[in-house]
Amino acid sequence: MSAASRSPKATLIVDAANVVGARADGWWKDRAGAAARLHEQLLVADVGYDVVVLVLEGQAKGGVRAGRDAHVRTVHAPKDGDAAIVAEAKRAVEKSPGTRVVVVTADRALDARVHGVGATTVSPTWLLAELGR
């Protein structure tokens, strides 16, 4: 059992651009399609979190509508994805003190920003392994 699944409440926030970019599968030719594939994988995978927030930016927003599908909530970043991710992390931490909030990213600057609001991070490699189980 993963540490995430033992948490009574846990939120996973996914930096979609960072996760999609971790795979050399031609995502750059179809950013919207890559976002849709990631969304579908998150819907069917048991990653051990009560809520998954998928943050999309730029062309990727064309692949998945904003809103909730089961336990996955898709957010379209109005400007840059990092600002939206930090805002989502801060909102999750403030909404439920004691809730475990984890951001999936390999971006060091974003890592520091989300730690500043009380969230932790895991690498895209971790998420891709979970999705591949």
pLDDT tens for residues 26-36? 777 889 999 99
Q: pTM of this prediction? A: 0.90
pLDDT tens for residues 11-29? 999 999 999 988 877 777 8
C-beta atoms surrounding 47 within 10 Å: 21
User: If you average pLDDT over residues 101-122, what whole number do you get?
Assistant: 96
pLDDT of residue 133: 66
Structural domains of the chain, ranges and CATH numbers in brackets: 3-132 (3.40.50)
> Residue 60, class by beta-carbon neighbours within 10 Å (0-12 exposed, 13-18 middle, 19+ buried)?
buried
pLDDT of residue 92: 95
* Percent residues over pLDDT 70 in the chain: 92
